Amino acid sequence: MSESTSLDTLSINTIRTLAMDAVQAANSGHPGTPMSLAPVAYCLWQQFLRFDPNDPIWPNRDRFILSNGHASMLLYSLMHLAGIKVVTRDYKVTSDLSVKLEDIKRFRQLDSKCPGHPEYRWTSGIETTTGPLGQGLANSAGMAMAGKWQAAHFNKPDFEMFNYNVYSICGDGCMMEGVSSEAASLAGHQRLSNLCWIYDNNHITIEGNTALAFSEDVATRFIAYGWNVTRVGDANDLEMLARAIQTFQKTTDRPTLIIVDSHIAYGAPNKQDTSAAHGEPLGEEEIRLTKKNYGWPEDAKFLVPAGVPEHFQQGMGKRGKELRDAWNARYAEYKKKHADLADQLMKMQHRELPENWDKDLPKFPADAKGIASRDSNGKVLNALAQQVPWLIGGAADLAPSTKTRLTFKDAGDFEADNHGGRNLHYGIREHAMGSILNGMSLCKIRPYGAGFLIFSDYGRAPFRLAALMEIPVIYCFTHDSIGVGEDGPTHQPVEQLASLRAIPGIVVLRPGDANEVVESWRVVMKLRHEPAILILSRQALPTLDRTKYASAAGVAKGAYVLGDSEGKPDVILIGTGSEVSLCVKAYEELKAEGIKARVVSMPSWELFEQQSEEYRAQVLPPDVTARVSVEQASVFGWERYVGMTGAMIGMHTFGSSAPLKDLEKKFGFVPEKVVAAAKDQVAKAKARGR
Residue ranges of alpha helices (H) inside 443-482 are: 460-469
The pLDDT value recorded for residue 280 is 79
Residues 632 and 579: beta-carbon distance below 8 Å: yes
- Using CA atoms, how far apart are residues 298 and 17, in angstroms rounded to an integer? 10
Q: Can you tell me the mean pLDDT for 213-221?
A: 95
Task: Specify whether the CB–CB gap between 121 and 115 falls below 8 A.
Answer: no
Give the pairing type, strands 166-170 and 195-201: parallel
**Which range (8-17, 265-274, 459-468) has the least confidence?**
265-274
Whether the per-residue pLDDT at 480 is higher than 70: the answer is yes
- The rounded distance, in Å, linking the Cα atoms of 453 and 323 is 44
DSSP H or E run through 87: strand 85-87
Last residue of a domain, one of 323, 338, 358: 323
Residue at 548 is within a domain = no
Residue 175: predicted pLDDT = 96
pLDDT, residue 279, reads 64
Amino acid symbol at 194: N
Distance CA(134)–CA(371), nearest Å, equals 40
Q: Is there a single domain that holds both residue 143 and residue 197?
A: yes
pLDDT of 648 above 90? yes
Residue-wise pLDDT tens digits, 313-360:
999 999 999 999 999 999 999 999 999 999 999 999 999 999 999 999
Mean pLDDT of 136-152: 98
pLDDT for residue 265 is more than 80: no
- Are residues 307 and 381 both part of a single domain? no
Distance separating alpha carbons of residues 535 and 86, to the nearest angstrom: 38
Where helices occur in 226-372 by DSSP H, the ranges are 238-250, 274-278, 284-294, 308-312, 318-337, 339-349
CA distance 645 to 144: 53
**505 in a structural domain:** yes
Report pLDDT digits (tens) over 230-239: 999 999 999 9
| Phi, psi for 248 (deg, rounded to 5) | -60, -50
pLDDT in tens, 421-432: 999 999 999 999
Taking the C-alpha atoms of residue 489 and residue 655, their distance in angstroms, rounded to an integer, is 5
- Domain count of the chain? 3
Same domain, 585 and 634: yes
Task: Confirm if 638 and 650 have CB atoms less than 8 A apart.
Answer: yes
Buried b (16+ CB within 10 A) or exposed e, 346-357: ebbeebebbeeb
- Find the helix packing angle between 178-189 and 218-225, rounded to 10°: 40
Residues 573 and 538 in one domain: no
Q: How far apart are CA 415 and CA 431, in angstroms?
A: 20
The pLDDT, as a whole number, for residue 5 is 53
Give yes or no for residue 50 having a pLDDT over 60: yes
- pLDDT tens per residue, range 196-215: 999 999 888 888 898 899 99
- Cβ contact 546:513 at 8 Å: no
- Looking up residue 675, the CATH number of its domain turns out to be 3.40.50.920
Once rounded to an integer, what is the mean pLDDT over residues 89-96? 92
Q: State which residues form the domain around 675.
A: 557-687
pLDDT digits (tens, 9 = 90+) for 182-199: 999 999 999 999 999 999
Q: What is the mean pLDDT of residues 575-590?
A: 98
- Verify that 97 and 216 share a domain, yes or no: yes
Cβ atoms of 466 and 530 within 8 Å: the answer is no
Its sign, for the CA torsion 285, 288, 290, 293, is negative
Tell me the pLDDT band of 397, cut-offs 50, 70 and 90.
very high
> Which of 269, 295, 323 is the C-terminal boundary of a domain?
323
Kindly compute the dihedral angle of the four CA atoms of residues 83, 84, 85, 90, in this order, to the nearest 10 degrees: 180
- CB count within 10 Å of CB 512 equals 30
Is the distance from CB of 447 to CB of 620 less than 8 angstroms? no
Let me know whether 479 and 574 are in one domain: no
Query: What does the DSSP 8-state code read for residue 413?
Result: B
**How many other C-beta atoms are found inside a 10 Å radius of the C-beta of residue 333?**
12
Residue 312 domain-assigned (yes or no)? yes
Q: Is residue 145 part of a domain?
A: yes
Secondary structure letter of residue 555 according to DSSP: G
pLDDT higher than 60, residue 274? no
Q: Please say which residue of 497, 513, 542 terminates a domain.
A: 542
Please tell me the distance from the alpha carbon of residue 376 to that of residue 541, in angstroms, as a whole number: 10
Spatial separation of the C-alpha atoms in residues 570 and 34, rounded to whole Å: 65
Do both 73 and 108 map to the same domain?
A: yes
- Say yes or no: 116 and 222 in one domain: yes
pLDDT tens per residue, range 286-305: 999 999 999 999 999 999 99
CATH number of the domain bearing residue 128:
3.40.50.970
Give the pLDDT confidence score for residue 273 in this predicted structure: 38
Residue 2 pLDDT > 60, yes or no?
no
In the chain, how many H helices and how many E strands? Answer: 26, 22
- For residue 647, what pLDDT is reported? 98
Please report whether residue 346 resides in a domain: no
**Model confidence at 270: pLDDT above 80:** no
Whether residue 594 sits in one domain with residue 470: no
> Residue 690's pLDDT is what?
63
Q: If pLDDT is split at 50, 70 and 90, which confidence band does 278 have?
A: low
Residue 267 has pLDDT above 70, yes or no: no
Do 37 and 235 form a contact (C-beta atoms < 8 A)? yes
Task: Read off the pLDDT of each residue in 63-67 and give the average, rounded to a whole number.
Answer: 98
Give φ, ψ of 571 to 5 degrees: -150, 145
| Mean pLDDT of all residues belonging to the chain | 95
Position 354 in a domain = no
- Name the residue among 541, 542, 678 with its Cα closest to residue 597: 678
**Residues known to be catalytic:** 430
Strand order in the sheet with 571-575: 560-563, 597-601, 571-575, 627-634, 647-651
Closest CA to 504 of 453, 469, 467, 462: 467
| Same domain flag for 39 and 187 | yes
Residue 191 and residue 259 in one domain: yes
- Give the contacts of 138 (CB within 8 A, at least 6 positions apart): 179, 180, 182, 183, 431, 432, 435, 436, 439, 462
pLDDT of residue 315: 97
* Phi/psi-derived region of residue 500, left when phi > 0, alpha when psi is between -120 and 50, beta in every other case: alpha
User: 506 and 394 share a domain?
Assistant: yes
Q: What is the pLDDT of residue 263?
A: 78
Residue 97 lies in a domain: yes
At a CB cut-off of 8 Å and minimum separation 6, what does 575 contact? Answer: 512, 581, 582, 583, 599, 600, 601, 602, 629, 630, 631
Within a domain: residue 198?
yes
Per-residue pLDDT tens for 623-639? 999 999 999 999 999 99
Residue 180 CA to residue 174 CA, distance in Å, equals: 7
